[in-house]
Amino acid sequence: MIGRWLYSAAWYVAAPLIVLRLLWRARKQPEYLHHLGERIGLHRLKAPARLMWVHAVSVGETRAAQPLVRALLDRYPQHSLLLTQMTPTGRATAHELFGADPRVCIAYLPYDTPGSVRRFLRHFRPAFGVLMETEVWPNLLRGARREAVPMLLANARLSARSARGYARLGGFARAVFGDLAACGAQTEADAVRLRSMGASPVTVTGNLKFEISPPAAQRSAGAAFRAAIGTRPVVVASNTRPGEEGPLLDAYARHASPDVLLILVPRHPQRFDEIAQLVEQRGLSLARRSSGRMPDADTRVWLGDSMGEMFAYYASADVAIVGGSWAPLGGHNLIEACAVGVPALVGPHTFNFAQAAADAIDAGAAIRCADLDAAVRVAVDLLKDAARRSAIGAAGQAFSEHHKGALAATLGLIETLAPHQ
C-alpha cells in the first residue's frame, strides 16, 4: 500500500531530525541519550521464554497500566511481562512501580520503522501485546500481525479531532486499525469513532484509571506532609505544563492570603529548576521537596520536585487545581484527586479526559473554571467553606468507586486473545 510505504519512508527521511531532537531534549534530560540501541530495536535485555507485553508511552499511561500489569502477573504466573515506554520519565515510573519485580522487564519501544519493529518482535516474541490508550503505530501493528502476536488497544480513547485526522488518511488508517485484534474503549463515543476507523471488535470496557487506589504508603506520606504543614490551608496544583505556572502564581499572589500554602507539582521533572526560578522571580518564599526541607510558616510555595508522590501531595491538600487543562493540552488525570477525596478544579481543555471530566462535574466531584485566575478564586472560597469542600470530596470518592470495573473487562478481552497461555 502506497500509504504505508510513504509513512515508512518519512521515518527514514526524518531520522537525522529525530537524532537532533534527542540531543536537544538531552540538554535538560540526559536520559534521552541512554539505551539508544533500543530505539532501533537492538535490545540487550534477555527475553524470557514466556512473555506478555504491555506498552505505555509515558508517565500517565504507565500509572494507568499498573493494576493491569499486577493482574496479568497474577493471572499468568508462568509468564514474565515486558513493559515498554517511549520517554525517560515513563521508564523511570516503570522502574519505580515494578523495578523490584524479577518478572517485569522494562525497555523502550523502538521507533516505528519496519526493521526496528521486526528486530523488537523477533527478539522478545511476546505471546500477546497490549497498547495503552492511543498508541496506534502502523508498522508495529502490521509487524505484530505478521509475527502472529495479537494486539489489544486497551483503555482506548479517540477524540473527535483525532478521528477527523485519521479519516483524512482514508484506506491507510482503516488498514492500520484493522490490524488490531481487539479494542477496549473507555466510552461509547470512543467506541463509535474506533469502529468508524475500521477497528473490530470494539468493546466498551471503561477507564482503567479508575482502578488505581491510593497506595497505603502514599496515604501515610500524605499524612506526614500534613502533620508537618500543620493547620495551614493547602492548595495543590498538579501536573502543570508550560504556560500555566506563571498565570497560576500571579493569581495565587493576588487572591490567596499568606497563610495559604501552594504545593506546585510540574508534570515534567526537567522543568523543576525553571519553575523554582518562576517562583523566586515573584518574590514568593520557596521550599523544595528534593531538599528534604518541609515548608515552614513563612513558605508560600512548596515545589513538589519528586517523582511518584502525587497521591501523597493530594492527600496533604484541601483543594486540587489539575494542570494541563488551562492551555489546549487536553488535561491530566483528575481521578486521582477524586479518589483521595480532594475537590478537583479543572480548566476548559479536558479533551483527553472528556467523559471522565464531564461525569465528575455532573457528579459534583469537580468544578470547571474558565481560567487560572478563576480557579484560584474558587479554591480560596472552598478553603473558607469546610462543609462544601467536604461534600465535593465525598462525591469524588463515590464517583471514583462507582466507575470501577474496567480491569475485569480488559482482562476478559485479553483472555479472548490468549486463552491458552
The residues that are catalytic are 61
Residue 28, amino acid: K
Cα dihedral sign, 299-303-308-310: positive
Listed in sequence order, the DSSP H helices in 81-130 are: 88-98, 114-124
Name the one residue in this structure whose C-alpha cell is 539508544. 36
Residue 222: HSE in the Cβ half-sphere, 13 Å Cα cutoff: 24
Q: Which of 289, 313, 315, 303 is nearest to 248 (CA)?
A: 303
- The residue length of the chain stands at 421
* CA of residue 240 relative to chain centroid, distance: 13
Name the one residue in this structure whose C-alpha cell is 519553575. 275
DSSP code of residue 79: -
Q: Count Cβ atoms below 10 Å from residue 313 Cβ, excluding itself.
A: 28
Residue 408: HSE in the Cβ half-sphere, 13 Å Cα cutoff: 3
Cα–Cα distances in angstroms (integers) from residue 97 to residues 91, 105, 213, 365, in the given order:
10, 12, 14, 28
Report whether 412 contacts 406 (CB < 8 A).
no
Cα–Cα distances in angstroms (integers) from residue 206 to residues 1, 35, 46, 112, 178, in the given order:
34, 34, 35, 28, 21
Q: Count Cβ atoms below 10 Å from residue 195 Cβ, excluding itself.
A: 16
